[in-house]
Amino acid sequence: MSYTPFATFADLTKRGPPCPAGSDSRADTLLEDASDMVRDRWPDVDARIAAGTLRARSVGRVVCQMVKRAMTSDDEAGVEEIQVSSGTLGETRKFANPDGALYFTGAEERFLSGKPAATGRAAAVDLSDGRRPDWL
């Protein structure tokens, strides 16, 4: 069975930053791979889109985000941390996705699974014996 990707190269370029010249073929392949990953992880995704419980545009947005992360792995946008020394000069860069892998973030997984966005919760536990400390 042949599936179409959830996003096209045009969708990817609209979401910026611009793709490097000559990267059309790589981007198309990554868009297909990312779409396959979505379908492998959530086999019911096409049925949910057809039923109207999930928008194809939203799935396309996730696919584009996955591809953008993979394509920025070797460029300035993919740098997570830079350390610069002055003495004998030096520069160290840590890339967020050094091998250019396609992956889902936690938020993307929750979204595609149909789960609500994560909300932070705070709690406090009183471990005192209830007496007022002397220093107050």
In a domain, 90, yes or no: yes
Q: Is residue 92 part of a domain?
A: yes
Per-residue pLDDT reduced to its tens digit, 96-105 = 666 677 889 8
Query: Into how many domains does the chain fold?
Result: 1
pTM: 0.69
Q: What is the pLDDT of residues 57-98, one digit of tens each?
A: 999 999 999 998 888 755 555 555 566 667 777 666 666 666
- pLDDT at position 71 is 83
- The pLDDT of residue 120 is above 80: no
In a domain, 120, yes or no: no
What is the Cα–Cα distance from 134 to 125, expressed in whole angstroms?
21
In a domain, 132, yes or no: no
- Residue 89: inside a domain, yes or no? yes
Asked whether residue 123 is domain-assigned, the answer is: no
**Residue 60: domain span:** 9-113
Closest CA to 67 of 97, 40, 41, 39: 97
Give the DSSP letter of residue 88: T
In a domain, 19, yes or no: yes
Residue 39 lies in a domain: yes
pLDDT recorded at residue 29 = 92
